[in-house]
Amino acid sequence: MSISTMRPQDTARTERSGDSAKPAAMESHILRGVRVSLDAQLGNASLAVEELMALKAGSIVTLQTGLADPVGIFLNDTLIARGEIVAVGDKYAVRILEVASPP
């Protein structure tokens, strides 16, 4: 197996502005077909190790989230929206209530 070193100028187009080179802006149409994975976080719970070890089939873990509280929607561990759990046919779904503001 061989490893080759690539310089940034070998992998990205650049635009010249005066004497400095800038990376070309990526056009949004390139990304439109890319699939991403979203996670909806229903809630969380805090358990002592003893309680965790006592869990078995049929055990109920109470979440800190209330029934009316929105769920978080995450992309790569980053909160991007909040929504409510709904049913679509025999599947769970999330109705978007608000989209997070960019940082």
Longest pairwise C-alpha distance within the chain: 69
75-80 long-range CB contacts below 8 Å, 24 or more apart?
A: 75/36, 75/37, 75/38, 75/39, 76/36, 80/38
Asked if pLDDT for residue 91 goes beyond 60, the answer is yes
Report the chain's C-alpha Rg in angstroms: 23
Asked if pLDDT for residue 3 goes beyond 60, the answer is no
- pLDDT, one tens digit per residue, over 52-77 is 999 999 999 999 999 899 999 999 99
Asked if pLDDT for residue 88 goes beyond 90, the answer is yes
- Give the SS3 label for residue 99: strand
> pTM of this prediction?
0.62
Residue pair 80/73 in contact (Cβ under 8 Å)? The answer is yes
Q: Could you tell me the pLDDT band of residue 22, with boundaries at 50, 70 and 90? A: low
Q: Locate tokens 């009316």: which residue?
A: 68
Q: From CA 65, how far away is CA 41, in angstroms rounded?
A: 10
